[in-house]
Structure 1
């Protein structure tokens, strides 16, 4: 018969058990002596953790692929976009940051905490590797899309990181359009990060942690939180409404239309120093403040004439249902039923050489200004294969002729080159830095 060590009694026994933790034997002993509830609790906790992991997996969007997630991914409900200015002058430090971002995004997209220690299991005397506010939440279909601004390649004549020769010709400086009231603090940036999710805390957590990782190498230049998608990117999604109360993005490109995406969204055929952009896209971001109070005092008749669609159904004023093609030639007693200066008429592909773009915008509200007016509107996001042909001409026309322009003010602007997706073992922008 084996000898056993004397067992402490009373409070000493409790303390000893706490130091040792529960062994398999102590768990079943507890169950047999009135500790059944404890055993059940432990098992339930294990089941809960398993269920949470399963939920995270079911809500996860694959990070690796030919294209970055967050472009053709079905548009989520929340967005946090941030532009970063790179502060380091060391190319190796920049690529190291992008490698760390890649690992962090991969973990967050899968619903996991960042790093081996996460929010609570790391060195007790060091800052946690994850800030922790999303630890109990699912992945919530999080996608994080990263792109590069023109100033990352060259700024004030300086080739900052030896990348100037690889700047794509399409990565232009967007022109100043009529009516623009751009604020420098809301425009531009070396790197863009678009985090979208169905839970706002998950999206904010993503940007917060990337900013934390970037410390000493890059800093946030501007950021914007958005809610309520203003476009559908899948035929399975209904058309949402913008803050003017109208359905927005009825004619938007859909992820199921591979041929249209190939022609209007994805870069292909790039050669030489630009070849790293094949499979990528260009992101246009515009912060558009809506004159909400003025719009709210406008008659329904005028609102519909400005948009070119009915407010209730979203159908074109020329008749039919929401997805009926507008008939711009159909005349009424006062001229075309769809006014020539309406938003629909000027934005329609038939009026823009067949050009289309994939829109992924969001509503935003940033409180009220000093005059008590609501600072709210549309944070316009679009992905195009070439902004020179797929965005600039249309925006120039709309800025001059669109009746809706009276109710809008563009306060922020940016254009970014979004590289293709990341293969297993790779990192964001690898093709640019290692071409």
Structure 2
């Protein structure tokens, strides 16, 4: 049986449907009540259509069409017991499966003497295409030289510690983590609710280390005003996804999973906003209005990296972001970007490039999210180029970072990450 069959529950959809049914009963009998019941059924059906299946070969939130909001959280493990880690993953799996279909994280109780099992801020809301994606950081396998859970020998070769890149100004409080949880939804309250419930369930086993919210517009323009992700590989090409995103047989227990790299990239928007349009387009290598490569008219026209103008100069400058980030410029390296803009208010900053402005500035930029089959030949290869050649570096600073092994998906009889623990002695 599913967890919904084993436990009587009050679901988010159930509470909404119940309130509608009560409203119908107060309207009387006959046609009015029938109409109200039909409305309730229609609304419930509509909510059902907005859920993304949790169970499957791969975790959701990777190839899922990008939702408009994200809440990312990294946790550090406090427990020294592998059994407690496994039990947490099982509880998280069950809760995530419930929330993605529109239920509360745990079955609710009517006992007024105990704290509610769910904080309740998503009751009555659609899941809004909620996905919850889990990842395992290097610290799960070895931290401070200690193999806490007997997993050190199972750390994937591709789960490397990210090198320090040129220009990095990483803040420890916004980097790393033993486990990552990324909730994505078209409703920011639903995404936050999901992470909030999982954090509460981890009490005594894992502690929240850092978190980051993000949003994306329907036009997919970033805070610089340019379209983002135009050159992403097509998620509708399963062969390409198998080659570049999903881990193959070489990954052992990670087969069917993917490696996640996140970077919190602050953009000096004040500096950028004082830059003339022509230079902005030279920095990006694209026209701002259309998103087309310089010299082209349409967004999805291919980059022509050899094109020159009448004077023999490259149309797309040799340090333009679109050039140095391209697969052609990086020996074929390709990653699936799923980034979000972020705005965390304002703070005191000093620019690291002329005109050396300092003072209260926006704490805003890009929460870079990328999935790949192997970060060594993916993000690391690309960012080594970007960090030394990209003209955009005068406007951006990498201040947060993390790398995680996102295990394959699972069936209802299992839990996320189960393949990592198979065959281990208790």
**Into which bin does the TM-score normalised by the smaller protein fall?**
0.7 to 0.9
Say if 1:239 and 1:250, in contact at 8 Å, map to a contact too.
no
Secondary structure (helix, strand or coil) at the match of 1:196 reads strand
Q: Does 1:346 align with 2:309?
A: no
Say if 2:290 and 2:297, in contact at 8 Å, map to a contact too.
no
Per-residue deviation at 1:49? 4.8
Per-residue deviation at 1:239? 5.4
Question: Which of 46, 49, 58 is equivalent to 1:58?
Answer: 49
Q: Does 1:281 align with 2:258?
A: yes
Question: Which of 223, 248, 258 is equivalent to 1:243?
Answer: 223
**TM-score, L = length of structure 2:** 0.88
Q: Does 1:331 align with 2:308?
A: yes
Partner of 1:216: 204
Per-residue deviation at 1:116? 2.5
Q: Aligned in 2, Cα 1:357/1:36: closer, same or farther, shift over 3 Å?
A: closer
Taking the aligned partners of 1:194 and 1:317, their CA distance within structure 2 comes to: 35
Taking the aligned partners of 2:114 and 2:387, their CA distance within structure 1 comes to: 52
Per-residue deviation at 1:173? 0.5
Q: Aligned in 2, Cα 1:127/1:299: closer, same or farther, shift over 3 Å?
A: same
Q: Does 1:207 align with 2:195?
A: yes
Taking the aligned partners of 1:221 and 1:399, their CA distance within structure 2 comes to: 27
Partner of 1:123: 111
Per-residue deviation at 1:434? 2.1
Taking the aligned partners of 2:302 and 2:405, their CA distance within structure 1 comes to: 32
Within 5 Å, which residues of 2 pair with 1:20-99?
37-39=27-29, 49-99=40-90
Taking the aligned partners of 2:214 and 2:224, their CA distance within structure 1 comes to: 16
Partner of 1:167: 155
Q: Aligned in 2, Cα 1:89/1:305: closer, same or farther, shift over 3 Å?
A: same
Question: Which of 358, 366, 372 is equivalent to 2:360?
Answer: 372
Partner of 2:233: 253
Question: Which of 306, 331, 341 is equivalent to 1:363?
Answer: 341
Say if 2:69 and 2:188, in contact at 8 Å, map to a contact too.
yes
Say if 1:141 and 1:198, in contact at 8 Å, map to a contact too.
yes
Per-residue deviation at 1:48? 5.4
Taking the aligned partners of 1:52 and 1:139, their CA distance within structure 2 comes to: 13
Q: Aligned in 2, Cα 1:36/1:259: closer, same or farther, shift over 3 Å?
A: closer
Q: Does 1:263 align with 2:243?
A: yes
Runs of 5+ consecutive residues of structure 1 not aligned to the other structure: 1-30, 230-237
Post-superposition Cα deviations, 1:202-231, rounded to whole Å, max 9, x if no partner, equal: 0000000000111111111000010116xx
Post-superposition Cα deviations, 1:104-149, rounded to whole Å, max 9, x if no partner, equal: 10010001112222xxx44222111211101110010000000000
Per-residue deviation at 1:428? 1.0
Per-residue deviation at 1:417? 0.1
Partner of 2:379: 391
Q: Does 1:148 align with 2:126?
A: no
Per-residue deviation at 1:241? 0.6
Within 5 Å, which residues of 2 pair with 1:280-319?
280-319=257-296
Taking the aligned partners of 1:44 and 1:426, their CA distance within structure 2 comes to: 42
Say if 1:239 and 1:249, in contact at 8 Å, map to a contact too.
no
Secondary structure (helix, strand or coil) at the match of 2:216 reads strand
Taking the aligned partners of 1:158 and 1:202, their CA distance within structure 2 comes to: 37
Taking the aligned partners of 2:183 and 2:277, their CA distance within structure 1 comes to: 35
Taking the aligned partners of 1:313 and 1:338, their CA distance within structure 2 comes to: 16
Partner of 1:225: 213
- State the Cα RMSD in Å: 1.8
Secondary structure (helix, strand or coil) at the match of 1:409 reads strand
Taking the aligned partners of 1:87 and 1:257, their CA distance within structure 2 comes to: 41
Post-superposition Cα deviations, 1:254-311, rounded to whole Å, max 9, x if no partner, equal: 22011111111000022xxx51100000000000000000000001010000000000
Taking the aligned partners of 1:38 and 1:261, their CA distance within structure 2 comes to: 55
Say if 1:116 and 1:122, in contact at 8 Å, map to a contact too.
no
Aligned length: 388
Per-residue deviation at 1:95? 0.8
Secondary structure (helix, strand or coil) at the match of 2:235 reads coil
